[in-house]
């Protein structure tokens, strides 16, 4: 390779491509190093579907408005205040313009959304999903003259006094090489696919986690940056985790292994005990808490149990539910104690109070006299066949990251900004997301900070 | 589970897609799928015939091979679609014709017919065959108009009958209520969707062919072929009206309506099929139903031959080549007619029926 680039981008997902395109449009020569082979390019972005952006009025693709203030309040609620307000508000403000900018890069939005999800006001959906979105970004980047190399895993970074000098990479075919560049954009994702690293915080439980996205996000770049003096942000045990089918593959099962049936039944652990209010809240929030709840249960497994009256109320699932004509038969198939499961269901049924069921609002169907309560959508489970989905924690992405400024510039441990290192996407998501998650924010963080990082990196390189 | 292995695979994919739904904005297949939770053979054949093979959902899918979920919707639906033609063929005894090499069958049929016409002419009067014949009625020196009309009407009527019977079976199987009729609005919608090939556009960017970069060319060639065919059909219809209503006999001067229509159509039938053939040669193997290569190519070849001999005939009709060329042209047209119900031609008919059904479903759902 030999030549020196203005901007080196590590990673190949949304954040990396937004940075590469924006740096190239800023006049810089740009190289993108993607650790994965071409098919798997784009990390977790391949699996995404939508993006959350503030907007003042309805558009062709969104019912509106979704104001900056409302976005901010949503973020505040899910994170419980664990967010950098300056950065977060800056991101939200910029998100308004991203809606159009991303279209200028060739990405197309889906006009309206059918199906069972209802996010048409806050989130825009990519036509054809995340991989289609990535394909468009790659086409645009290549057309603009961005160089892209696949199977190019960066194995070392040469950094002196907070200044990036070169990256070393290992390529299966072309061998090892060193690449120098004037500025660096690190957009290499989190460390969710690195089970060993997860174990440092979660212990042996992490062996039972399933990784919903790419196996290539092993956090190697994050680790190098932190080791070389970049300031750390976020709690390493915080991540976005949902309950997914226990039969899903260990890695890369993507969106189709999720379950959204929790509200329609009860959730028990391997001792057939309920452990949380299944009727606590409606969709986006509920979606994001159950992964952690299941992670806290023995053996990290739980079972969503419902009956045949509700099967058409939620999205069709990849794996069919496990069925039994009696509760005992179902328990047998799930390897649960039949007596214990029967007792739990009988007690639950007895606690259900009459009400008017409406799963689109927080309705008045609830239980009385049991712990935990089911505060909404509680209905008796009594119509065979009885059905169940086994679920495990499905890790989406991690929040431990590099601290950045509003310019997406990395901050060093002593609080000084790095001369030429920028970060975008999952690798710095923890600046905004201290904990919790609201659907579509992963892409907002990647696009907004990717675009800024690319622009700033190009500016630095051309000075 | 299902009648065939490919339908089992299609069922598996539709279960994956139905729990994903990322592609719902790309074409009609996915919204139609979302209206169902379980899939009968008829449902799967319906979805297969709604697919225009644009390739977008393959290039956009995070689960396409080498991913272990191995999702390849375009290819699976292409095979299922091809198998559905045989499943609904009338009479069933001829369904095997789809499997045999369509190219050979069509060419043999065309040449046999050409030979027959030549023989017929030779028996009557050798001089017409190689002589120069001009002026009204010149064509009919080769074969009297009534004989020609009788032969071709018979072939055409048979084709229509076989097609109607087949599409009826399809229509019933894809879930329309027994005796259910299509309403005018849905038919009109389907005519528009088919006329503009609305779903051969990968959700807007174009069609995918040799790689992951979309281009619109397959759509363009398809349009040339389709409208070329319609123009030729119109030319023949106008000529028939001229003959019976106005008593004017072919060949007509170059500026006359049947010739203008026929020439434009013939050009479409030359450029379109050649383009489609080249696109097919280039198509990424993972998108191609290779087993049905012969059937597709046979149909493309017949269309090309019809257009090509037609245009040559126009250019050389005042020379001694007219006789053999006319025989060849008529042979190609005849072969096109009789192979219609048992070759790739039916894809248009089934697709249209599927589009009508889709329009209907959308109206009921709305
Ligand atoms: C199933 C699923 C569904 C999701 N749905 C949504 C959604 O609808 N909306 C939303 O906003 N978010 C969603 N997310 C979260 C979203 O995917 C992430 O927030 C987002 O993709 C992060 O983008 P990124 O560019 O930072 O990282 P990624 O897209 O993960 O890209 C990281 C890249 O870095 C590369 N890499 C890693 N290490 C190295 C190395 N050493 N050298 C070179 N390259 C390296 C990887 O190969 C990869 O290409 C979803 C996640 C999953 C798993
Ligand atoms: S083709 Fe792939 S991305 Fe599209 S709906 Fe099916 S599984 Fe989802
Ligand atoms: S028409 Fe295109 S997007 Fe639709 S199913 Fe067929 S190949 Fe996929």
Q: Is the pLDDT score of A193 beyond 70?
A: yes
Q: pLDDT by residue (tens digit) across B244-294?
A: 999 888 889 889 999 999 999 999 999 999 999 999 999 998 998 888 888
| CB-closest option in B21, B62, B205 to A130 | B62
| Structure tokens belonging to residue A342 | 């029967």
Q: What is the dihedral of CA A392, A393, A396, A398, to 10 degrees?
A: -160
- pLDDT reading at B178 higher than 70: no
Q: How much is the pLDDT for A118? A: 56
pLDDT for B231 beyond 60: yes
Task: Tell me the pLDDT tens digit for each residue of A370-405.
Answer: 999 999 999 999 999 999 999 999 999 999 999 999
- Name the DSSP letter for residue B70: -
Closest CA to A268 of A396, A356, A370, A384: A370
Q: What is the DSSP string of A307-323?
A: ETTSTTSS---SSPPEE
What percentage of residues in chain A have a pLDDT greater than 90?
A: 83
- The answer on pLDDT for A217 being more than 60 is yes
B293 lines ligand 2 (CB under 6 A): no
How many Å is the maximal CA-CA distance in chain B? 71
Mean pLDDT, to the nearest integer, of A57-79? 90
Is the pLDDT at A67 greater than 60, yes or no? yes
DSSP states of A352-407 as a string? BPP----TTS--S--B-S-SS---SS-----SSSEEEEEEEEEEEEE--EE-B-TT
- Give A127→chain B minimum CA distance, Å: 6
Report whether residue B14 contacts ligand 2, using a CB cutoff of 6 Å: no
pLDDT number for residue B22: 95
Task: Give yes or no for residue A325 having a pLDDT over 60.
Answer: yes
Among chain A residues, the shortest Cα distance to B366 is held by A114
Q: Cβ of B26 and A128 within 8 Å?
A: yes
Predicted local confidence at residue B365, as pLDDT: 78
Q: Contact, A422 vs A404, CB < 8 A?
A: yes
Nearest CA to ligand 3 atom 2: B54
Ligand nearest to the CA of residue B71, numbered in listed order: 2
Average pLDDT for residues A255-272, to the nearest whole number?
Answer: 94
Question: Looking at the predicted structure, is the pLDDT value of residue A279 above 50?
Answer: yes
Peptide bond into B251 cis (omega under 30): yes
- CA distances to A187, B104, B335, B340 from B111, rounded to whole Å, are 65, 11, 9, 16
Chain A residues within an 8 Å CB radius of B212: 135
The answer on pLDDT for A231 being more than 70 is: yes
Q: Which regions of chain B does DSSP assign to beta strands (E)?
A: none
* pLDDT confidence of residue B363: 85
Residue predicted with more confidence, B125 or A451: A451
Looking at the CA of residue A34, tell me the nearest atom of ligand 1: 44
In angstroms, the CA B278 to CA A386 distance is 56
The yes-or-no verdict on residue B344 having pLDDT over 80 is yes
Report the complex ipTM. Answer: 0.93
Which two tokens mark B288?
A: 């191609």
Q: Do A135 and B57 touch (CB under 8 A)?
A: no
**% of chain A surpassing 70 pLDDT:** 96
Indicate yes or no: CB of B25 within 8 angstroms of CB of A110.
yes
Ligand 3 centre to CA of B278 (Å) is 21
State which H helix or E strand residue A445 sits in: helix A441-462
Q: Mean pLDDT lowest for which of A370-384, B178-192, B219-233, B234-248?
A: B178-192
pLDDT tens-digit map of B119-177: 877 777 777 777 787 778 888 887 888 888 888 899 899 999 999 999 999 999 997 66
CB of A157 closer than 6 angstroms to any ligand 1 atom: no
Q: What is the pLDDT of residue B177?
A: 62
Q: Which of A210-214, A226-230, A327-331, B200-204 has the lowest mean pLDDT?
A: B200-204
Range with lowest mean pLDDT among A104-118, A161-175, B227-241 = A104-118
Question: Which of the listed residues B17, B55, B62 should we mutate to test ligand 2's pocket, taking the one with most ligand atoms within 8 A of CB?
Answer: B17
- The per-residue pLDDT for range B284-327, each reduced to its tens digit, is 989 988 888 888 888 899 899 999 999 999 999 888 888 888 88
Alpha helices in A26-168 (DSSP H): 68-79, 85-104, 129-144
Which is more confident, A325 or B207? Answer: A325
In this predicted structure, the answer to whether residue A102 has a pLDDT above a threshold of 70 is yes
**Per-residue pLDDT at B8 exceeds 90:** yes
Going B189 to B190 to B193 to B195, the CA torsion angle's sign is negative
**Contact assessment for residue A443 and residue A137, using Cβ atoms and an 8 Å cutoff:** no
For the Cβ of B56 lying below 6 angstroms from any atom of ligand 3, the answer is yes
Query: Does the distance separating the beta carbons of B15 and A114 come in below 8 Å?
Result: no
Which amino acid residue places its CA nearest to atom 7 of ligand 2? Answer: B17
Q: Between β-strands A147-149 and A30-33, what pairing exists: parallel, antiparallel or unpaired?
A: parallel
For residue B200 and ligand 3, the question of a CB distance below 6 A is answered with no
Ligand 2 centroid to residue B220 C-alpha, Å: 26
- Ligand 2 centroid to residue A307 C-alpha, Å: 28
Distance B63 CA to ligand 2 centre (A): 7
Contact map slice: B 2-61 vs A, CB within 8 A: 15-16, 18-26, 31, 34, 37, 56-57, 59-61
For the stretch A128-157, pLDDT in tens is 999 999 999 999 999 999 999 999 999 999
pLDDT for A284 equals 54
pLDDT grade for A116, boundaries at 50, 70 and 90: very low
Q: What pLDDT band is residue A112 in, cutting at 50, 70 and 90?
A: low
Average per-residue pLDDT for chain A = 93
Q: Which ligand is the nearest neighbour of the Cα of B65?
A: 2
- The H or E element containing residue A168 is strand A163-170
Among A316, A317, A389, the strongest candidate for a mutation testing the B interface, having the largest count of B CBs within 10 A, is A316
Per-residue pLDDT, A361: 87
- Mutating to test ligand 1, I would choose from A18, A34, A45, A133 the residue with most ligand atoms within 8 A of its C-beta, which is A45
Instruction: Tell me how many residue pairs between chain A and chain B have CB atoms under 8 A apart.
Output: 78
- Per-residue pLDDT of A291-306, as tens digits, reads 999 999 999 999 999 9
The predicted pLDDT at position B206 comes to 83
Please compute Rg for chain A using Cα positions.
23
What is the tens place of the pLDDT at every residue in B72-120?
Answer: 999 999 999 999 999 999 888 888 877 776 777 778 788 888 888 888 7
How far does residue A141's CA lie from ligand 1's centre (Å)?
A: 18
pLDDT above 60: residue A114: no
pTM of the model: 0.93
Six token digits for residue A292: 């952690």
Are A90 and A431 in contact by the 8 Å Cβ rule? The answer is no
Closest ligand to residue B51's CA: 3
The ligand minimizing its distance to the Cα of B23 is 2
More confidently predicted of A50 and A62: A50
Chain A contact for B70 (CB, 8 A cutoff): no
């Amino acid at each position: 390779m030999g030549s020196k680039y203005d901007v080196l981008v590590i990673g190949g997902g949304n954040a990396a491509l937004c940075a590469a395109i924006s740096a190239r449009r800023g006049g810089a020569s740009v190289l993108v190093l993607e650790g994965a082979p071409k098919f798997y390019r784009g990390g977790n972005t391949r699996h995404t579907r939508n993006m959350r952006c503030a907007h003042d009025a309805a558009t062709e693709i969104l019912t509106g408005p979704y104001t900056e203030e409302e976005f901010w309040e949503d973020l505040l609620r899910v994170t419980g205040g664990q967010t950098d307000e300056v950065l977060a508000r800056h991101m939200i403000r910029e998100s308004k313009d991203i809606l159009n900018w991303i279209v200028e890069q060739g990405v197309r939005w889906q006009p309206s959304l059918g199906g069972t999800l209802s996010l048409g006001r806050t989130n825009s959906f990519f036509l054809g999903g995340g991989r289609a979105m990535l394909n468009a970004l790659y086409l645009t980047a290549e057309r603009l003259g961005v160089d892209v190399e696949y199977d190019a895993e960066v194995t070392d970074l040469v950094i002196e006094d907070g200044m990036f000098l070169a990256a070393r990479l290992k390529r299966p075919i072309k061998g090892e090489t060193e690449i120098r560049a004037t500025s660096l954009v690190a957009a290499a994702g989190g460390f969710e696919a690195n089970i060993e690293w997860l174990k440092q915080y979660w212990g042996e439980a992490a062996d039972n986690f399933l990784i919903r996205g790419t196996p290539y996000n092993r956090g190697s770049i994050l680790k190098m940056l932190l080791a070389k003096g970049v300031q750390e942000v976020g709690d390493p045990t915080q991540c976005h985790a949902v309950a997914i089918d226990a039969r899903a593959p260990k890695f890369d099962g993507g969106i189709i292994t999720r379950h959204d049936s929790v509200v329609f039944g009860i959730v028990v652990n391997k001792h057939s005990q309920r452990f949380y209010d299944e009727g606590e809240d409606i969709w986006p929030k509920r979606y994001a808490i159950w992964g952690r709840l299941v992670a806290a249960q023995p053996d990290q497994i739980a079972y969503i149990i419902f009956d045949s009256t509700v099967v058409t109320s939620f999205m069709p699932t990849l794996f069919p539910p496990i069925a039994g004509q009696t509760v005992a038969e179902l328990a047998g198939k799930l390897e649960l104690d039949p007596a214990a499961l029967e007792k739990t269901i009988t007690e639950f049924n007895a606690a259900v109070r009459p009400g008017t069921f409406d799963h689109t609002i927080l309705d008045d169907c609830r239980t009385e006299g049991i712990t935990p309560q089911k505060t909404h959508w509680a209905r008796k489970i009594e119509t065979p066949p009885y059905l169940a989905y086994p679920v495990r924690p499905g890790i989406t992405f991690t929040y431990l990251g590099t601290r950045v400024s509003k310019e997406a510039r990395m901050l060093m441990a002593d609080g000084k900004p790095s001369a030429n290192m920028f970060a975008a996407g999952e690798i710095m998501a923890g600046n905004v997301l201290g904990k919790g998650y609201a659907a579509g924010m992963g892409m907002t963080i990647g696009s907004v900070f990717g675009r800024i990082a690319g622009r700033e990196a190009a500016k630095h390189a051309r000075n | 589970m299902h009648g065939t292995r490919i339908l089992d695979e299609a069922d598996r994919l539709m279960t994956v897609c139905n729990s994903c739904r990322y592609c719902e904005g790309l074409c009609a297949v996915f919204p139609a799928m979302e209206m169902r939770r379980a899939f009968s053979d008829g449902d799967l054949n319906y979805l297969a015939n709604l697919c225009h093979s644009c390739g977008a959902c393959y290039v956009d899918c995070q689960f396409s091979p080498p991913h272990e979920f191995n999702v390849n919707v375009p290819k699976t639906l292409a095979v299922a679609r091809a198998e559905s033609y045989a499943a609904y063929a009338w009479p069933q005894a001829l369904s095997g014709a789809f499997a045999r090499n369509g190219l050979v069958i069509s060419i043999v049929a065309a040449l046999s017919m050409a030979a027959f016409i030549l023989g017929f002419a030779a028996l009557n009067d050798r001089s017409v065959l190689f002589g120069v014949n001009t002026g009204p009625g010149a064509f009919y020196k080769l074969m009297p108009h009534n004989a020609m009309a009788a032969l071709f009407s018979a072939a055409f009527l048979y084709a229509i009958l076989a097609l109607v019977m087949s599409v009826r079976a399809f229509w019933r199987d894809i879930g329309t209520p027994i005796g259910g009729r299509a309403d005018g609005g849905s038919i009109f919608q389907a005519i528009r969707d088919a006329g503009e090939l609305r779903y051969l556009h990968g959700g807007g960017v174009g069609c995918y062919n040799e790689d992951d970069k979309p281009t619109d060319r397959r759509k363009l060639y398809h349009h040339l072929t389709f409208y070329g065919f319609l123009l030729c059909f119109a030319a023949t219809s106008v000529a028939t009206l001229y003959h019976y209503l106005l008593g004017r006999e072919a060949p007509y001067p170059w500026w006359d309506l049947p010739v203008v229509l026929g020439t434009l159509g013939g050009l479409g039938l030359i450029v379109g099929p050649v383009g489609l053939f080249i696109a097919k040669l280039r198509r990424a193997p993972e998108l191609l139903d290779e087993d049905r290569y012969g059937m597709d190519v046979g149909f493309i070849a017949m269309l090309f031959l019809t257009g090509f001999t037609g245009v040559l005939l126009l250019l050389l009709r005042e020379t001694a080549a007219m006789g053999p060329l006319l025989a060849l042209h008529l042979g190609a047209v005849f072969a096109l007619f009789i192979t219609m119900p048992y070759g790739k031609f039916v894809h248009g008919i089934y697709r249209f029926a599927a589009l009508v059904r889709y329009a209907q479903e959308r109206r009921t759902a709305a």
